[in-house]
Amino acid sequence: MGNVRVADRALGYGMPGVRVDGNDYVACLVTARTAVARARAGDGPTLIEAVTYRLAPHTTSDDPQRYRDEAETARREAEEPLGRLRTVLAARGLWAAKREAEFMAELDEELDAALEVADAMPEPRAVSIVEHVFAEPGPDQLRAMEALDGA
């Protein structure tokens, strides 16, 4: 998982830091439940570093082949969290392909309905991108608000 450990930074803030395989749903669930129980017991926060690998490009205009080995990406696809969880559940008889297909159809319908609502919304004012960012806008925000007002 590399040499840099964000979880180690937690020590400087007086709290535990835990590093977990972010592609392992069960490990993440156990780690999060432990952290929540700790917090509820009054023992404070826990910094959880869930390490994963970004399979997709940063943006639609990004070309990750410029800076990474696609063979590594292909190898990492086997560690993809949903596929791993599906394998764990199937091995325990808790996964059904038919139910997955039904669920995905339900999600598609829900997404389509949400997109219709969003598409029917009026376009936001350009100035809204800088409004309500800070309790008191600073000089940069005031200039941006002035430039965008009416745009």
Total structural domains in the chain? 1
Residue 32 lies in a domain: no
Tokens standing for 112?
């389509």
Check residue 109 and give left, alpha or beta (phi > 0: left; psi -120 to 50: alpha). alpha
Residue 144 lies in a domain: yes
Residue 74 lies in a domain: no
Q: Is the dihedral of CA 27, 30, 33, 35 positive or negative?
A: negative
Whether the per-residue pLDDT at 27 is higher than 90: the answer is yes
Residue 95 lies in a domain: no
Phi and psi at 19, nearest 5°, equal -105, 130
Prediction pTM value = 0.67
Other C-beta atoms closer than 10 Å to the C-beta of 23 total: 20
Residue 129 lies in a domain: yes
Q: Which residues contact 15 (CB under 8 A, 6 or more apart)?
A: 44, 45, 46, 47
Residue 18 lies in a domain: no
Q: What is the pLDDT of residues 86-127, one digit of tens each?
A: 999 999 999 999 999 999 999 999 999 999 999 999 999 999
Residue 134 lies in a domain: yes
Residue 36 lies in a domain: no
Alpha helices (H) along the chain: 25-40, 70-77, 81-91, 97-120, 139-148
Structural domain of 146: 124-151
Q: What is the pLDDT of residues 30-74, one digit of tens each?
A: 999 999 999 999 999 999 999 999 888 888 888 888 888 889 988
Q: What is the pLDDT of residues 66-88, one digit of tens each?
A: 888 889 988 999 899 999 999 99
- Active site amino acids: 54, 58, 67
Ordered DSSP codes for 102-113: HHHHHHHHHHHH
